[in-house]
Amino acid sequence: MGRDRNGARMQARRTGFVTEKTALAEYRRLSRQRDARTVRPRLTDTVETLCQDWLRTREQELQPNTLYNYTWLLSLIYPYLGTVRGSRLSARMTERAYRQLEAAGYSRTTLRTLDLVLTKAYGEQTGLTLGAHRPRESDTLRPVWTLTEARRFLDHVHHDRLYPLWRLLLVTGLRRGELCGLQWRDLEPDLATLTVRRQRVVEDPASRVRDKPPKSHNSTRTLILDPVTLKTVTATMPAAGSRYMFTGRTGQPLRPDNVTSCFNHLATRAGVRPIGPHQIRHLLASTYLDAGYGIHEVAERLGHDPGTLMRYYTRINATRRQQATEHIAQLLTEPPQIPE
Residues 90 and 191 in one domain: no
Query: pLDDT at residue 181 above 90?
Result: yes
Note down the domain range covering 271: 147-312
pLDDT band for 65, please (50, 70, 90 cuts): confident
Q: What is the pLDDT of residue 71?
A: 92
Residues 164 and 281 in one domain: yes
Q: Are 118 and 74 in contact (CB under 8 A)?
A: yes
Residues 172 and 291 in one domain: yes
Residues 115 and 159 in one domain: no
Q: What is the pLDDT of residue 79?
A: 95
* Highest mean pLDDT: which range of 61-70, 87-96, 202-211, 235-244: 87-96
Pairing of strands 193-196, 187-188: antiparallel
Partnered with residue 253 across adjacent β-strands are 247
Q: What is the pLDDT of residue 118?
A: 95
- Rounded mean pLDDT, 310-319: 63
The CA distance from 183 to 198, in Å, is 9
Asked if residue 90 belongs to a domain, the reply is yes
Residues 111 and 253 in one domain: no
Domain CATH code at residue 184: 1.10.443.10
Query: pLDDT at residue 212 above 80?
Result: yes
Residues 180 and 59 in one domain: no
Residues 178 and 224 in one domain: yes
**pTM given for the model:** 0.67
pLDDT band for 270, please (50, 70, 90 cuts): very high
Asked if residue 270 belongs to a domain, the reply is yes
pLDDT band for 35, please (50, 70, 90 cuts): confident
> Who's near 321: CB < 8 A, 6+ residues apart?
none
* Highest mean pLDDT: which range of 25-29, 133-137, 196-200, 215-219: 196-200
Classify 200 as helix, strand or coil.
Answer: strand
Query: pLDDT at residue 249 above 80?
Result: yes
- Rounded mean pLDDT, 323-339: 69
Residues 155 and 264 in one domain: yes
The CA distance from 55 to 70, in Å, is 8
Asked if residue 196 belongs to a domain, the reply is yes
Supply φ then ψ for residue 222, to 5 degrees: -120, 125
The CA distance from 297 to 286, in Å, is 13
CA distances in angstroms from 20 to 23, 58, 60, 164, 261, listed in the order given:
5, 21, 21, 47, 44
CA distances in angstroms from 206 to 62, 68, 71, 180, 248, listed in the order given:
18, 10, 13, 19, 20
Query: pLDDT at residue 317 above 60?
Result: no
The CA distance from 57 to 29, in Å, is 9
Query: pLDDT at residue 147 above 60?
Result: yes
Partnered with residue 224 across adjacent β-strands are 193
Q: Using a CB cutoff of 8 Å and minimum separation of 24, what contacts does 105-110 make?
A: 106/76, 107/138, 108/135, 108/136, 108/137, 108/138, 109/137, 109/138, 109/142, 110/73, 110/76
Q: What is the pLDDT of residue 137?
A: 73
Asked if residue 331 belongs to a domain, the reply is no
Residues 253 and 161 in one domain: yes
